[in-house]
Amino acid sequence: MITWYYPAMFALSMILTGCYALLWKKHDDIHITLVFVLIPISNLGNLLMASADSRGAALIANAVYYVGGCFLQLVILLGIFSLCRIRVHRWLRMLLLTLSALVYVSALTAGRETWFYRDVAYENVNGIGMLRKEYGPLHIVFYGMIFLYFALSITAIVYSLIRKKQISRKILGLLFLPEAVCMAAFFLGRRVLPEIEMIPAAYVLAQVVYLLITWKLNLYDVTGTVIESMVQTGETGFITFDRRFHYLGSNETARRILPQLDNLTVDLSVRRSRSLAELLEPWLTKFQEHPDDPEKNRHPYPLGDRFYLFTVGLLKRGASDLGYRITITDDTLVQENIRLLKDRESELKEKVEEKTRDIRRMSENLVLSLAVMVESRDNSTGGHIRRTRDGVRILTDAMRGNPPEGYEITEDFCRMLIKAAPMHDLGKIAVDDEILRKPGRFTPEEYDRMKRHAAEGGRIVHEILKDTTDDAFHQLAENVARYHHERWDGSGYPEGLKGNAIPPEARIMAVADVYDALVSKRVYKESLPFDRADAIMTEGMGSQFDPALRDAYQQARPALEEYYRQAAKEQQPQPSGAAADR
């Protein structure tokens, strides 16, 4: 049995790491990921020790084992701080990491110096290799370090259990379990079973617990779960419950609208709060009875001087139904319009149009803000979103009087294209910062990775707009995001479309996009003079751009140049103070 123990523990740790890889999400805590990396390494060290046939081989195995021995408990500690939302200053992280690194370096001296082990000897007992060790002074430091990490971990868990209501009690309990088991195995294992090392089994148990924690974190990750069920906006609140009406979490907007949520503990029933139970439980119960009737699950409700619409739906992750979500949106404008309809029917049309314009402006501002937020990650394209939107407006204005052949330039088309233009680079949200924020030209490999933003942008726009009723705008915006880098001659990306196969809106967007790139300063180039930019644009008509757009571009050129002159002046720093007086 002992012969198979260490190989079995190593194999199990690798299998569990593979299971974690299947559950892994981009937003998962890095410390949990490191736990699943370090445990197989540590268990490999135990396996190598058990199979060692000499003192030298055993010392190598010992060095592998202490990778986990010195760093695993630190990673677990930092992971507990992260999951408990306890901030750790960078200098403290570096101090603890330095301590672990120094102890590990001292462990590497085993067999040559007497700092960590005063003396080591190789033995083979019942076919299992092991080292008989006489501990040195730095091994006492190692024990003290492990005990310190354990004490800090337990303190953080207990503190969070008492003070932090927005952290799941189940998660806190699960965090305590591997700590207790590993420390018992570390300090007491050899006294109970002197023939085998209990740490590998304790580590495997820890992996099982951390797999469960990972699954639970995905459940409690409110943003991650709700975003699959609805389009999330900054003005939307949401609350999540499991199937037994136990509270799972809420976002800041929901807690601002319903302050009682701050006092409702995660994992406890909504019935623990009388006011919330009276408000929310009847709606949750009605949804259970009528899950397929949207009208019965929409509940306008006044709070203070505002009206809010509470909408009950399923909480989904993929194809799984995890519980229920309540979405809260400000319904004040709608309720006001209903009141206006009843009180002043003669004024209704004007007010509805006014409110519609406000909502449209807010919608366009939200889209623009989202695009600017994405653009803020890109070192090279400051102001690109606003300039290309205005460039599209100038181009479409030039086309209205004399539409190019094959183009239907209607008021609705122009309005939708101008509205969609800021969304053309949304796909850059999926590009790594190391690429997007690079202060220079891309390598061919980096450029290939950057080019993925077009297809990704089409997918993101599709997801954002898929449940809207404006199908025409949905299709146009998706085409702009996906195909604005296609070329007339078919050498563009992502699909290599050619000629009229490229949607008209994407062809127009391409002209505005490239023109801005030419006449604007980037981190890797200076802006080109207008005549040089015009020569490049004109030369590209028929290869990069639709030749039918040549006349429209030439007609729009004076307005484009004037616009970019004004933009350049606005970007110049203005003198202030004493400098202004001079």
CA distances in angstroms from 377 to 103, 433, 552, listed in the order given: 39, 7, 33
CA dist 95 and 158 (Å) reads 24
Between 32-41, 251-260, 337-346, 515-524, the lowest mean confidence (pLDDT) is in: 337-346
Residues 525 and 422 in one domain: yes
User: pLDDT class for 377, splitting at 50, 70, 90?
Assistant: low
Q: What is the DSSP string of 179-213?
A: HHHHHHHHHHHHHH-TTS-SHHHHHHHHHHHHHHH
> Residue 515's pLDDT is what?
94
> Residue 488's pLDDT is what?
95
Residues 216 and 236 in one domain: no
Angle formed by the axes of helices 384-400 and 550-571, nearest 10°: 140
Residues 500 and 522 in one domain: yes
Residues 530 and 397 in one domain: yes
Residue 433 domain flag: yes
Residues 153 and 42 in one domain: yes
Per the model's pLDDT, the better-predicted residue between 347 and 206 turns out to be: 206
> Residue 232's pLDDT is what?
43
**How many independent structural domains does the chain possess?**
3
Write the CATH number for 152: 1.20.1070
> Residue 504's pLDDT is what?
95
Residues 245 and 166 in one domain: no
541-568 pLDDT tens trace = 999 999 999 999 999 999 999 999 988 7
CA dist 71 and 133 (Å) reads 21
Residue 91 is part of which domain span? Answer: 2-220
Between 98-107, 172-181, 242-251, 323-332, the lowest mean confidence (pLDDT) is in: 172-181
Residue 343 domain flag: no
The 3-state DSSP class for residue 227 equals: coil
User: Which of the listed residues 191, 220, 249 is the one where a domain comes to its end?
Assistant: 220
CA distances in angstroms from 480 to 185, 458, 485, listed in the order given: 60, 8, 9
Residue 362 domain flag: no
Residues 39 and 104 in one domain: yes
Residues 388 and 526 in one domain: yes
Residues 253 and 202 in one domain: no
Segment 273-294 mean pLDDT: 90
> Residue 437's pLDDT is what?
73
Residue 577 domain flag: no
pTM to 2 decimal places: 0.44
Residue 503 pLDDT greater than 70, yes or no? yes
> Residue 577's pLDDT is what?
38
Say what percent of the chain tops pLDDT 70.
Answer: 85
Residue 580 pLDDT greater than 50, yes or no? no
Residue 346 domain flag: no
Give the chain's mean pLDDT. 83
Between 129-138, 223-232, 342-351, 517-526, the lowest mean confidence (pLDDT) is in: 223-232
Residue 364 domain flag: no
Residues 95 and 241 in one domain: no
> Residue 579's pLDDT is what?
33
Residue 580 domain flag: no
> Residue 581's pLDDT is what?
32
Per the model's pLDDT, the better-predicted residue between 572 and 44 turns out to be: 44
131 conformational bin, left if phi > 0, alpha if psi -120 to 50, beta if neither: beta
Residue 101 pLDDT greater than 60, yes or no? yes
Write the CATH number for 383: 1.10.3210.10
Short-list 548, 543, 471, 474, CA closest to 508: 548
Residue 367 domain flag: no
Residues 175 and 261 in one domain: no
Residues 127 and 173 in one domain: yes
Cα end-to-end distance, the chain, whole Å? 89
User: pLDDT class for 192, splitting at 50, 70, 90?
Assistant: low
